[in-house]
Amino acid sequence: MKKSCSIVSKKSKYNIVVSGAAETKICCQNIEELSREVGAEIAKSGHTLITGATSGVPYYCALGCKEAGGFNVGFSPAESELAHIKSYCLPVDPFDVMIYTGADYTGRDVLMTKSAEAVIIICGRMGTLHEFTTAVETKKPIGILERTGGVADEIRNLMKRVYSREEEKVIFETDPKILVEKIIKTIEDNKKKNIKHLKREKELRQ
Walk me through the domains of the chain, giving residue ranges and CATH numbers: 15-205 (3.40.50.450)
Residues whose CB falls within 8 Å of the CB of residue 149, separated by 6 or more in sequence, listed in order: 21, 26, 27, 28, 31, 123
Rounded distance, CA 176 to CA 170, Å?
A: 15
Q: Which residue type sits at 175? A: D
Burial state string for 9-44 with b = 16 or more CB within 10 A and e = fewer than 16: eeeeebbbbbbbbbebeebbeebbebbbbbbbbbbe
Distance between CA atoms of residues 166 and 94, nearest Å: 33
Report residue 24 CA to chain centroid gap.
18
Residue 16 is predicted with a pLDDT of 98
pLDDT given for residue 201 in this prediction: 76
Task: Please give the pLDDT value at position 193.
Answer: 87
Contacts of 88 (CB under 8 A, 6+ apart): 76, 77, 78
Cβ atoms 84, 61 nearer than 8 A = no
**Residue 163 pLDDT:** 65
User: In a 10 Å sphere around its CB, with 0-12 CB exposed, 13-18 middle and 19+ buried, how is residue 84 labelled?
Assistant: buried
What are the mean pLDDT values of the chain's consecutive 10-residue runs (206 residues total)? 50 91 97 98 98 98 98 98 97 96 98 97 97 94 98 94 72 98 96 81 75
Residues in the chain: 206
Tell me: the pLDDT tens digits for 27-83?
999 999 999 999 999 999 999 999 999 999 999 999 999 999 999 999 999 999 999
Query: According to the model, what pLDDT value does residue 1 have?
Result: 45
The residue type found at 100 is Y
> How far, in Å, CA of 147 to CA of 133, rounded?
20
Determine contact, residues 162/155, Cβ cutoff 8 Å.
no
CA distances from 28 to 84, 152, 158 (A): 27, 11, 20
CA-nearest of 137, 193, 186, 159 to 16 is: 186
pLDDT of residue 195: 83
Whole-number pLDDT of residue 9: 47
* Rounded Cα–Cα distance for residues 168 and 158 (Å): 14
At residue 11, the pLDDT reads: 57
